[in-house]
Amino acid sequence: MGWEAWSYTILLFIVGALFGSFFNVVGLRVPKGISVVAPRSSCGGCGRQLNAIDLIPILGWFIRRGKCHTCGSPISPVYIVGELAGGILFASLPFVVSENELWIAYPLVSVLLILTVSDLAYMLLPNKIIYPAMLLFTGLRLFIHPLPIWHYALGFVIGGGTLLAVSLAATWMGKPAMGFGDIRLMALVGLVMGIKLVLLCIFLSALLGSVIGVALIASGKLDRRSPIPYGPFIAVAGFICFCFGDPLMTWYMDLIVWQ
Ligand SMILES: [Zn+2]
C-alpha cells in the first residue's frame, strides 16, 4: 500500500471510531427514549459530565485508565469495544466490498453496530432503528442493485418469514421463541442482501449462536435457561455474508460437488 492508501485507511479508522462512539450512545439511549444529543454523557458513578478528554474515542479510555478520574468508578469496556469495532470496520470496508456496494456497506455496518449494542444492553432491537433502516435500504436498493430487484424483495419476505415460522414452531413446542425484533432484523438483512445471502445468514447465525451458546454454558458463564440475545449473531453473520457471502457459497458448493 502506498502512503496515500495508508492515510485514507487511518482517516477512515478515526472517523469510524468517532461514529462507533456515537453508535454506542444511540444504541444505549434510543431504546430508553432518551435524546441522542442532550443531555451530555455523564459518569454513571458520580454524575460528572464527560469532557473532551473522556470523549476521545479509544484513547480517552486509555488516558483515564478505564476509570472515572473524579470518583474512580470503572468505565465499561463496552464503549471501547464499540469504538474499535467502528474504526476497524470503517477502515476495512474498502478492501472487502466493491466500490458501488460501499454506499450500502457503511449504512449497513452502522445499523448493525447500533442494534448489537442495544440488544446486548437491553435484549431489544428497537423499531425506532429498524423501521427507518428498512426505509433507507429500500431507497438505496432502488438505485444500487447488482442483482435484479426482486432478489431483494424476496429476501425481505423469506428472511422475515423463515424466522417467523421458526418462532411460531418454537412457541407451539413450548420452547422459548425468537423475538419480533430478530424477525424484523432478518427481514432487513434479506432486503439488503437478497434471497441467496439471507438464507446463508440464517444458517450462519444459527451456527454461530449454537456454538457460542454451548461454549458459554459449558464454561459456566451462562445458565442453560437464561436467554441469549440473538441480534448480535444475526449482525455478525449478516456482515460476513455481505462481505464474503458469494465466495463462501462457491466454496461450499464446490465442497458438495466434489464429494
Ligand atoms: Zn465518576
Per-residue pLDDT tens over the stretch 156-189: 999 999 999 999 998 999 887 788 999 999 999 9
The pLDDT of residue 188 is 98
Three cell numbers at 110? 452502522
Span 231-259, average pLDDT: 90
Q: Which residue has the higher pLDDT, 234 or 41?
A: 234
Residues 21-45: tens digit of each pLDDT: 999 999 999 999 999 888 888 888 8
How much distance in Å is there from the Cα of 114 to the middle of ligand 1? 25
How does residue 77 score in pLDDT terms, banded at 50, 70 and 90? confident
How much distance in Å is there from the Cα of 43 to the middle of ligand 1? 5
Residue 37: DSSP 8-state: S
How much distance in Å is there from the Cα of 170 to the middle of ligand 1? 45
The pLDDT of residue 259 is 58
How much distance in Å is there from the Cα of 42 to the middle of ligand 1? 8
How much distance in Å is there from the Cα of 48 to the middle of ligand 1? 6
How much distance in Å is there from the Cα of 65 to the middle of ligand 1? 13
How much distance in Å is there from the Cα of 59 to the middle of ligand 1? 18
How much distance in Å is there from the Cα of 9 to the middle of ligand 1? 34
What integer best gives the mean pLDDT of the chain?
92
Three-point CA angle 185, 186, 188, nearest 5°: 65
| 41 touches 50 (CB < 8 A) | yes
**pLDDT at residue 95 tops 70:** yes
How much distance in Å is there from the Cα of 166 to the middle of ligand 1? 45
The pLDDT of residue 97 is 95
The pLDDT of residue 195 is 96
How much distance in Å is there from the Cα of 76 to the middle of ligand 1? 12
Residues 104-128: tens digit of each pLDDT: 999 999 999 999 999 999 999 999 9
The pLDDT of residue 37 is 84
**pLDDT at residue 251 tops 90:** no
- Alpha-carbon distance of 14 to 56, in angstroms, equals 10
How much distance in Å is there from the Cα of 78 to the middle of ligand 1? 17
Give the environment of ion ligand 1: residues with CB less than 5 A: 43, 45-46, 48, 68, 70-71
Q: Domain spans of the chain?
A: 1-96, 99-259
| 188 touches 130 (CB < 8 A) | yes
Q: Which residues, listed in sequence order, are joined to residue 199 by a DSSP beta bridge?
A: none
Three cell numbers at 166? 421458526
Three cell numbers at 96? 472487502
pLDDT over 90 for what percent of the chain? 69
Q: Is 1 helix (H, G, I), strand (E, B) or coil?
A: coil
- Alpha-carbon distance of 162 to 208, in angstroms, equals 17
Rounded-to-10 torsion of CA 210, 212, 218, 220: -130
The pLDDT of residue 102 is 97
Task: Sort 8 into a burial class: Cβ within 10 Å, 0-12 / 13-18 / 19+.
Answer: middle
**pLDDT at residue 96 tops 90:** yes
The pLDDT of residue 244 is 96
How much distance in Å is there from the Cα of 133 to the middle of ligand 1? 35
